[in-house]
């Protein structure tokens, strides 16, 4: 569902009437959260608005090259905007310590988002679940308002699109998105640099973690999985949370319908990362173990040893991979 | 260097004057070889030409879904075209057993290619080293000639573009390529299916080859490399030529400027696959060992044992990675 022209007109009418505008994105920000925040922020500054950009957590290192990244505030103290625009956030709580500001009756709030779970908490909700990313939606907003792109804005927005689509690899990439990406490049956004610095880049220590974990990789009945014991992670010196996205690599195996990585970050409990090909559902499996997520990407934290947890989760994954689709 | 309109006009004049047209691509065909072959073949049939498509080797399984894939001939016997168009082939020998036909004085030959090493063996050489792929060049040709795209043609051409650019991840992706890809999708080419079936898909046996090879991965002075001994490939049962694209994974490591995979497919010689980040040049290194290729993607076959060849090639790679860029 594309957003109608009249709704964009209303968006620009509200923006036009405001002087001080606060833009807020969700906590634990990804590339789309930061890209849409900074891209819209730069565009509104360009038309003379007093803009602040804000996020509960710091901008991750890999997005600090983006213009405006160093100006993102982490605290709501002293912020009293005429208008607040929440980006990429399905509900106020996703913005962490900015939820109070969003819920304040004195502040007009607009929600710009592509999550189908958006609760419609804004005065105006510009929610398009068919958009690849909130950054794509910001581009739609700028084009609807007749605002020109420049290199800085285009770089922010293309970063959001690239990171949310794994560089055009997700099923929701449309012809229109490719045309928009072409226009962003024409405005100066460096596609190769953005991809090389985000979705196509892993650190050497991640490669070594993968190497160790792949020694025990197994494929049975359409389920591919690997384990990352605590000792493995320690021996390599890998101290980041997460599986280093090994589960993405596993799901790229043609014979796999469902992929899992079981990793131990602390003794006594196992983090389970699950991914599925379109047609399968790992959110339901994650929920059985108290976890959650999307249909194709979910996870859970399960008490027990690696062997115990694998033995409990694997039969459910195999049952899912056996389903007729 | 884009190909000038007059040159395309001359191309279409020669095509227009011919009735029986043979299209030939290079041996050991990749997605661009097959995509450009079949895409141009379908387009020429559509305008009433009698077309045969040919390749020294069979169409690889992963490209057999392309329309026309089952009609590709592997032998030049009995072929006597008015016009032969060599696709994606830098010299006649790249077409294997079709080289004789290309060199025959009775047959007019056109070369459509994006390799900078193209020797200019055609009566007319439509060579654009700035094109991402020969499939992109075929699209340029069709647009210059005013031929419409349809779903079949678009699917072939987008497959060539996707495989040669790793789905838009290479440095030579231009705004214009994204716009073309958008038009191919608009004509019906299924981008997600193409990506999922080609560049985003590896077989389980490839993952196990990577797993074994990664056990010996090394990173020194900006050069990352791994080896695939004959015994390793045999123990896994890996019988395909090539390194299973491990070299792409290696170059995705943030700390690497140059990546190499040394593999032994036959005793006594080592296949060296080289990749570089923009600014570095591995074609020059490949040429030192009698190989060739593009600046950022090159290779060579070097006599000797794995240890010997690594010892000879590595210092040149390290010198390259040390260059100021």
Q: What is the ipTM of this complex?
A: 0.87
Alpha helices by DSSP H, chain A: 5-17, 31-46, 99-103, 134-144, 151-164, 175-186, 191-197, 204-214, 230-236, 246-251, 283-288, 306-322
User: Which residues on chain A are in Cβ contact (under 8 Å) with B189?
Assistant: none
Neighbouring CB atoms inside 10 A of B216's CB total 13
Q: How far is B185 from chain A (nearest CA, A)?
A: 5
Which residues of chain B fall short of a pLDDT of 50? Answer: none
More confident residue, A114 or A294: A114
Of the partner residues B175, B176, B217, the one whose CB lies closest to the CB of residue A211: B217
Q: Is pLDDT at A1 greater than 60 in this prediction?
A: no
Contacts of B231 (CB under 8 A, 6+ apart): none
Compute the CA torsion angle B162, B165, B170, B176 (nearest 10 deg). Answer: -70
Give the angle A217-A248-A58 at the CA atoms, nearest 5°: 125
Q: Is pLDDT at A292 greater than 90 in this prediction?
A: no
Which site among B62, B163, B204 would you substitute to test the A interface, given the most A Cβ atoms closer than 10 Å to its Cβ?
A: B204
CA–chain centroid gap for B222, Å, is 26
- Band (A325; pLDDT cuts 50, 70, 90): confident
pLDDT the model gives residue A300: 94
Reference B230, options B283, B173, B279, B268; nearest CA is: B268
B211 vs A215: CB contact, 8 Å cut-off?
Answer: yes
For the domain bounded by A205-322, which CATH number is listed?
3.10.310.30
Contact B317, B256 (CB under 8 A): no
Of the partner residues A168, A204, A253, the one whose CB lies closest to the CB of residue B167: A168
* Beta-carbon pairs below 8 A across chains A and B: 114
Of the partner residues B169, B201, B217, the one whose CB lies closest to the CB of residue A200: B169
Which site among A165, A227, A253 would you substitute to test the B interface, given the most B Cβ atoms closer than 10 Å to its Cβ?
A: A253
- What burial letters (b/e) apply to B153-184, b meaning 16+ CB within 10 Å? bbbbbbbbbbbbbbbbbbbbbbbbbbbbbbbb
Q: Is pLDDT at A37 greater than 80 in this prediction?
A: yes
Q: Is pLDDT at A74 greater than 60 in this prediction?
A: yes
Query: Considering the entire predicted model, what is its pTM?
Result: 0.89
Q: How far is A153 from chain B (nearest CA, A)?
A: 16
B253 vs A202: CB contact, 8 Å cut-off?
Answer: yes
User: Which residues on chain B are in Cβ contact (under 8 Å) with A225?
Assistant: none
B180, containing H or E segment? helix B175-186
**For the residues A232-242, what does the mean pLDDT come to?**
85
3-state secondary structure string across A122-191: CCEEEECCCCCCHHHHHHHHHHHCCCCCCHHHHHHHHHHHHHHCCCCCCCCCCHHHHHHHHHHHHCCCCH
pLDDT the model gives residue B1: 55
The CATH class that applies to domain B206-322 reads alpha beta
**For the residues A137-156, what does the mean pLDDT come to?**
97
3-state secondary structure (DSSP) of residue A16:
helix
Task: Determine how β-strand B223-228 pairs with β-strand B218-220.
Answer: antiparallel
The residues spanned by each domain of chain B are: 5-197, 206-322
| CA separation for the pair B269, B271 (Å, rounded) | 7
**For the residues A69-73, what does the mean pLDDT come to?**
98
3-state secondary structure (DSSP) of residue B95:
helix
User: Which residues on chain B are in Cβ contact (under 8 Å) with A211?
Assistant: 211, 214-215, 217
What percent of chain A has pLDDT above 70? 100
Of the partner residues B178, B204, B211, the one whose CB lies closest to the CB of residue A255: B204
For the domain bounded by B5-197, which CATH number is listed?
3.90.1640.10
pLDDT the model gives residue B209: 93
Averaged pLDDT of chain A: 94
B276, containing H or E segment? strand B269-276
Give the angle B281-B283-B285 at the CA atoms, nearest 5°: 85
| CA separation for the pair A166, A248 (Å, rounded) | 11
Residues of A within an 8 Å Cβ radius of B: 167-171, 173-179, 181-183, 185-186, 191-192, 195-196, 200-204, 207-208, 210-211, 214-215, 217, 219, 224, 249-250, 252-256
Q: Is pLDDT at A243 greater than 90 in this prediction?
A: no
A175 vs B182: CB contact, 8 Å cut-off?
Answer: yes
């Amino acid at each position: 569902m594309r957003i109608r022209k009249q709704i964009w007109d209303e968006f620009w009418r509200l923006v036009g009437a405001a002087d001080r505008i606060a833009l807020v994105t969700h906590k634990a920000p990804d590339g789309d959260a930061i890209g849409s925040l900074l891209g819209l922020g730069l565009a509104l500054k360009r038309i003379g608005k007093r803009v602040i950009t804000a996020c509960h957590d710091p901008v991750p290192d890999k997005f600090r090259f983006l213009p405006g990244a160093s100006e993102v505030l982490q605290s709501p103290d002293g912020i009293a905007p005429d208008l607040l625009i929440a980006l990429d956030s399905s509900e106020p709580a996703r913005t962490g310590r900015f939820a109070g500001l969003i819920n304040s009756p004195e502040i007009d709030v607009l929600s710009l988002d592509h999550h189908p779970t958006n609760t419609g908490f804004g005065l105006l909700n510009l929610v398009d679940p068919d958009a690849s990313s909130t950054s794509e939606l910001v581009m739609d907003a700028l084009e609807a308002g007749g605002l020109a792109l420049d290199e800085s804005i285009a770089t922010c927005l293309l970063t959001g699109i690239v990171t949310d689509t794994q560089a055009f690899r997700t099923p929701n990439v449309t012809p229109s998105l490719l045309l928009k990406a072409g226009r962003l490049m024409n405005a100066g956004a460096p596609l190769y640099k953005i991809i090389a610095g985000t979705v196509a880049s892993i650190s050497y220590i991640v490669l070594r973690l993968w190497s160790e974990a792949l020694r025990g990789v197994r494929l049975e009945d359409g389920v591919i999985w690997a384990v990352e014991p605590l000792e493995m992670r320690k021996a390599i010196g890998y101290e980041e949370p997460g599986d280093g996205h090994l589960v993405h690599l596993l799901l790229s195996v043609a014979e796999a319908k469902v992929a899992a990585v079981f990793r131990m970050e602390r003794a006594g409990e196992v983090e389970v990362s699950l991914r599925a090909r379109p047609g399968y559902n790992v959110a339901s499996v994650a929920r059985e173990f108290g976890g959650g997520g999307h249909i194709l990407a979910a996870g859970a934290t399960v008490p027990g040893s690696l062997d115990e947890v694998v033995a409990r989760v694997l039969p459910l994954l195999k049952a899912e991979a056996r389903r007729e689709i």
